[in-house]
Amino acid sequence: MLILVVNCGSSSAKYELFNVEKETSLCRGAVERIGEQTSWMVYHPSGKDQTKQKTVCPDHHRAIELIRDTLVDAQKGVLKDVMDVMGVGHRVVHGGEEFNQSTLIDAKVMKSIEKFSALAPLHNPPAIEGIKGCMRIFQGVPQVAVFDTAFHQTMPEQAFAYGIPYKFYKKYSIRKYGFHGTSHRYISMKAAELLGCPVQDVNVISVHLGNGCSIAAVAGGKSIDTSMGFTPLEGLLMGTRSGDMDPAVVTFLMRAENIGPEEMDGIMNKKSGLLGISGISNDMRDILSGLQEGNARARLAYDVFVYRIKKYIGAYAAVLGKVDAVVFAGGIGENVPEIKSEIKRHLRPMLGSACEFLTVRTNEELLIAKDTYNLVKRSA
């Protein structure tokens, strides 16, 4: 059964086509720089070289058309007909408190995703455009929404409530939601597999370190706490996001620099983190080169990054009581073994000798494809 996975961001539409029964990826790619004068169509069939060509793509509807045309291209495409696709799975960032699992998309679900755009104004609108595009282009093919927030809906209220007047939770739904849920679900399942135990029997601290970074305490396959919050800004230091800080810094800076909420938002989301501290880059590879060259601010950025991961693991060990594995994933988690080594050396006495320190390659797309497959099969 062929399942297409679509992940629409503000200026990109990534896709991957899976044969879910065989757990194989047939091809993947992206339309990049949507809405700019020159866009790119990237196509990468499994086992072959990637091609990248210039194109014009004003919006996500056109992006989905370009993806369809690439998939059924007579020479290089992998599909004979769009109707060979049995389901399309969409990554949707925010499902609010309404969705604790993936769901088939109908008019009611679309309305809810639109409603949650208020909570994720940068993320849900492009996903909606992608879904609408796919409904038009893959007519009659079931569409499934897989939410970043869904996995964390098992968090107890004591973990997700903020210490502000309760009326704001009621009025604006302000609470911790957590993100990267599909990745943390995949990582904790994979960890259980590596430990040779049913997922219900293991406690895992899942550490996702990519451009965005988050960490989750997963007890018996259920998320009970996570570092990202109302938005993806809370928690660990990230490529360009500040992570945790005293919220009074925000009001202080807005007054001191005479800046409005949009600019402040941009500082915290796009100019902070590894980039903000180092002044060099948001990319860990550049920070590591900076360390080699003895750059003091690259050293500070790296140290803050690692220190905060240690603190969160300590906190989540306290929350879980017993930890069977600490699992690293994401571009940094998978490629910078010295971070795992340092954390392991430091935390081993606290976590005990039975706790494993693992690295897994996260695969959110595969999990989206599997959820889509299961829902489509069940509904057929």
CB of 336 to ligand ADP, least distance (A): 5
How many C-beta atoms lie closer than 10 Å to residue 94's C-beta? Answer: 25
Smaller CB separation from ligand ADP, 182 or 188: 182
Q: What residues are labeled active site?
A: 148
Site residues, ligand ADP (CB under 6 A): 210-212, 239, 283-285, 330-332, 335-336
Q: Calculate the alpha carbon distances from 355 to 15, 99, 315, 322, 369 in Å.
A: 36, 32, 16, 9, 31
In the block, which residue shows the tokens 């964390």?
152
- The DSSP line for 89-149 is EEEES--TTT-SS-EE--HHHHHHHHHGGGT-TTTHHHHHHHHHHHHHHTTT--EEEEETT
Neighbours of 318 (CB within 10 A): 11
Q: For ligand ADP, which is the closer residue by CB, 63 or 336?
A: 336
Minimal distance in Å, beta carbon 125 to ligand ADP? 19
| Cross-strand bridge partners of residue 54 | 40
CB 171 to ligand ADP: min, Å = 32
Q: Please name the amino acid found at residue 181.
A: G
Q: Strand pairing of 203-209 and 143-147? A: unpaired
> From the CB of 283, what's the least distance to ligand ADP, in Å?
4
- What are the backbone dihedrals phi and psi of residue 111, each rounded to the nearest 5 degrees, phi first? -60, -40
CB 305 within 8 A of CB 325: no
CB nearer ligand ADP, residue 320 or residue 368: 368
- Output 243 or 330, the one with its CB closest to ligand ADP: 330
Provide, rounded to whole angstroms, the least separation between the CB of residue 24 and ligand ADP.
21
Taking CB atoms, the residue at the shortest distance from ligand ADP is 331
Nearest distance from C-beta of residue 274 to ligand ADP, angstroms: 7
Q: Which is nearer to ligand ADP, 29 or 239 (CB)?
A: 239
- Nearest distance from residue 133's CB to ligand ADP, in Å? 22
- HSE-CB for 268 with a 13 A CA cutoff: 23
Comparing C-alpha atoms, which of 226, 202, 80 is closest to residue 151? 226
Phi, psi of 321 (to 5 degrees): 85, -50
Distances in Å between the alpha carbon of 224 and those of 69, 158, 184?
A: 43, 10, 12
Cα separation, 129 vs 8, in Å, equals 8
Nearer to ligand ADP, 210 or 276 (CB): 210
Q: Between 100 and 281, name the residue whose CB sits nearer to ligand ADP.
A: 281
